[in-house]
Amino acid sequence: MTADATLPLQAAIIAALKGDAAVAAIVSGRIYDRPPPEAVKPYVSFGVVQALPETADEYDGAEITVQLDVWSAKPTTVEAKRIGAAIRAALHGADLAITGHRLVSIEIEQARYITEPDGLTQHAVLIFTARTEPV
């Protein structure tokens, strides 16, 4: 069985988002695995990550689902939707370099935009599916 690609994939996603001008213009590099309690909004954080092995004769890949969460303190969903659109443009179909693995594909599966129960926080949930194989 091949090494788990989730950590190198996360590193590649962070690098891609921090290096993307449209994303950086809005979140200023605030992309977290686990945001600090004093994190300034807007920011992006990682949610659930799931890796499913895809194995066959002579093949040992994985399908990885990555949830990215966008957090905004604006009174409407406009900022969260702009950040979501920038993240989609940066990652959907991207050619990310993943240490020890090859990214076969990365695609957005869904985007949801939610007003949190406090009535003030806007939350976008973006789900990406990546397919990887060892190099």
pLDDT by residue, tens only, the chain of 135 residues: 557 899 999 999 999 999 999 999 999 999 999 999 999 999 999 999 999 988 876 777 899 999 999 999 999 999 999 999 999 999 999 999 999 999 999 999 999 999 999 999 999 999 999 999 988
Q: How far apart are CA 13 and CA 100, in angstroms?
A: 15
Buried b (16+ CB within 10 A) or exposed e, 50-64: ebeeeeeeeeebbeb
Which residue from 77, 72, 69, 75 is spatially nearest to 17, judged by alpha carbons? 69
Burial class (CB in 10 A: 0-12, 13-18, 19+), 71: buried
End-to-end CA distance of the chain: 13
What residue ranges define each of the domains in the chain, with the CATH number in brackets? 6-134 (3.30.2000.30)
Q: Is there a contact between 95 and 41 (Cβ–Cβ < 8 Å)? A: no
